Amino acid sequence: MTINVKLRLFNALALAFVALAAMAQNNVAEEVAWVIGSEPIFKSDIEEQYQQALYERVPIEGNPYCVIPEQMALDKLFLDQARIDTVEVAASTISAEVENRINFFIANLGSKEKVEEYFRMPLPRLREKLNEAYSDQYCIQQVQNELTKNVKATPADVQRYYRALPKDSLPYIPMQVEVQIITINPLIPQQEIDEVKSRLRDYAQQVTSGEREFSTLAILYSEDQSTAVYGGETGFQSRSVLLPEYATAAFNLNDSKRVSNVVETDDGFHIIQLIEKRGDRVNTRHILLRPKVSDKDLTDALNRLDSVRSDILSGKKTFEDMALFISQDKDSRNNKGNMLNENDHSSRFEMADLPAEVGKKINNMQPGEVSEPFVMLNPKTRREQVAIVKLVKRIDGHKADLAEDYMIIKDMCEAKEREKIIREWVEKKQKSVYVYIEEGWRDCDFKYDWLKKGK
């Protein structure tokens, strides 16, 4: 991954905006370090990228005053190509990323006002800056993707690549496991559900009557801890990000003074208040309550899974069949009970990537063993559920091996080919673009030969 991607993609940009805003306000003269085509790279830009890397603890391989401006120069080459190719930016995608980033700033700094104070600019201006930066990054990625779209390693390619690799270049693969799971969501008494709905209706009435603010009630009572501290505010979200039932209710709201009816989702029960609509995105507040599972319901579910486990151990049923017929885990049910790793969409997990309760259970199990039933929190809904797991396979930590880690080696092979294509493109592109590097910025071991082409 390039230093630019590490610095900016979805997690960066903040410190540079502060510097640019301050210079604009103070009319500070800029010192040009590089020129690519007609585009200058200012010393302040480089310095702020460096400070940002330090702030986010991003490692930089080499002299930062060489690595960073070179990456910025590469970006300008790709952006020039994006203009030539008339790359279209997906406005809705960029807007969603911008709002997610602003929500991140608010979460970390405490309020919108503190965000504006920190960046020394109003939120609309910050949105504009972020939108520009994310749009540039999107264009760069689109150009790179187009250049490398046909890269696809065959098994023969992967074998040749693996045989040519020095053995000390093979990555170390930590211990991994493959796990099957069956889950059951305990029954919740209708009385508990009715009580939760009643509480939410009461909160809605308090807001509608003007007795209390929605945000105050959210802080006090909402069980969505990620939004409760901000008065229940979700930030601008598109339909695709929101749970379907929540999205329908949120986009149907037109009056910010009204509160929705009670909405049920996989996460629990909500009431929603509209803050603002902006195109295909909506900003809302919500209060989430989850019905509680009684001890009796948990015990009943545990007993049911204990019977299932007994049938599996006796050979009457297979784990795969029982997962298909009774498991309520949507992600694994139709995959023979195999848990899927969201990080790489494979069936293998490092222990740290498993839900804590699952990891604890399989830690001392042998392949083929089935655990006793246990209670765990659903990682997505945070609701209590009961589960049994089967350890399918344990792969000890090892150097990557073609037979055991084919997909990892294949990814490495394709990455090398993509890097080769990008390098050849950059070297060709350099010949058609004016490049100038100021004295004091040339004494570098650059990845590309900028000096020869810039003189």
The domain limits of the chain are 3-152+415-454, 176-187+294-399, 190-289
* CA–CA–CA angle 399, 402, 407 (5° rounding): 100
Asked whether the beta carbons of 37 and 433 are under 8 A apart, the reply is yes
Give CA separation, 369 vs 183, 360, 373, 375, in Å: 17, 14, 13, 18
Instruction: Compute the distance between CA of residue 261 and CA of residue 250 in angstroms, rounded to an integer.
Output: 10
Sequence-ordered list of residues with C-beta below 8 angstroms from that of 439, at least 6 positions apart, any chain = none
Domain 190-289 has CATH 3.10.50.40: yes
Instruction: Compute the distance between CA of residue 407 and CA of residue 422 in angstroms, rounded to an integer.
Output: 22
Q: For the packed helices 64-84 and 123-147, what is the interaxial angle rounded to 10 degrees?
A: 80
Question: What are the percentages of helix, strand and coil residues in the chain, rounded to 5?
Answer: 50, 15, 35
Architecture of domain 3-152+415-454: Orthogonal Bundle (1.10)
Environment class of 194 (CB within 10 Å of its CB; exposed 0-12, middle 13-18, buried 19+):
exposed
Sequence-ordered list of residues with C-beta below 8 angstroms from that of 218, at least 6 positions apart, any chain = 227, 228, 231, 232, 285, 286, 287
Detail the DSSP E strand segments found in 322-383: 349-350, 374-377
Domain 176-187+294-399 has CATH 2.60.40.1220: no
Per-residue pLDDT of the chain (455 residues; tens, 9 = 90+): 333 333 333 343 444 444 444 444 444 457 999 999 889 999 998 998 888 778 667 888 899 999 999 999 999 999 999 999 998 887 777 877 888 788 788 877 878 888 888 888 888 888 888 888 889 999 999 999 999 999 999 999 999 999 999 988 899 999 999 999 999 999 888 999 999 999 999 999 999 999 999 999 999 999 988 888 889 988 888 888 899 999 999 999 999 889 999 999 988 999 999 999 988 889 999 999 999 888 899 999 999 999 999 999 999 999 999 999 999 988 899 899 999 998 888 899 999 999 999 999 999 999 999 999 999 988 877 788 999 999 999 999 999 999 889 989 999 999 999 999 999 999 999 988 999 999 999 999 999 999 874 44
DSSP letter at 386?
Answer: E
Total number of residues shown for the chain: 455
Instruction: Compute the distance between CA of residue 291 and CA of residue 284 in angstroms, rounded to an integer.
Output: 22
Instruction: Compute the distance between CA of residue 4 and CA of residue 116 in angstroms, rounded to an integer.
Output: 25
Which residue in the block uniquely carries the two structure tokens 């945070």?
Answer: 382
| Same fold across 176-187+294-399 and 190-289 | yes
pTM exceeds 0.75 for this model: no
Burial 142-173 (b: 16+ CB within 10 A, else e): bbbeebbeebebeeeebeebbeebeeeebeeb
